[in-house]
Amino acid sequence: LQKIYLDNAASTPLSPEVLEVMLPYFTQIYGNPSSIHAHGRQARAAIEKARKQVANLLHCSTSEVFFTSGGTEADNTAISQAVHSLGVQHIITSKLEHHAVLHTIQYLEKTANITVSYVTTDSRGNVDYDHLQSLMAWPKAGLVSLMHANNEIGTMLNIDLVAELCMQNAYLFHSDTVQSMGHYLFDLQQIKVDFLAASAHKFHGPKGVGFMYINTENKIKPYLHGGAQERNMRGGTENISGIVGLAKALELAYSSFEKDKAYILGLKKHLANALLEQIPDVEFNGNSANLDDSSLYTVLNVSFPPSEKADMLLFNLDIAGVSVSGGSACASGSDIGSHVLTALGAAPERPSVRFSFSKFNTMPEMEYVVQTIRQLVLA
Q: Could you give the C-alpha distances from 309 to 281, 315, 321, in angstroms and in order?
A: 14, 10, 17
Provide, rounded to whole angstroms, the least separation between the CB of residue 349 and ligand PLP. 26
Provide, rounded to whole angstroms, the least separation between the CB of residue 7 and ligand PLP. 11
Provide, rounded to whole angstroms, the least separation between the CB of residue 200 and ligand PLP. 8
Q: How far apart are CA 20 and CA 245, in angstroms?
A: 9
Provide, rounded to whole angstroms, the least separation between the CB of residue 147 and ligand PLP. 5
Catalytic positions: 330
Phi, psi of 366 (to 5 degrees): -60, -40
Provide, rounded to whole angstroms, the least separation between the CB of residue 377 and ligand PLP. 27
Listed residue (132, 148, 131, 243) closest to 188, CA to CA: 148
Sign (positive or negative) of CA dihedral 65, 71, 74, 75: positive
Q: In the chain, what is the straight-line distance between the N-terminal and C-terminal CA atoms, in Å? A: 20
> Residue numbers of the site for ligand PLP (CB under 6 A)?
70-72, 75, 98, 100, 147, 151, 176, 178-179, 199, 210
Provide, rounded to whole angstroms, the least separation between the CB of residue 121 and ligand PLP. 15
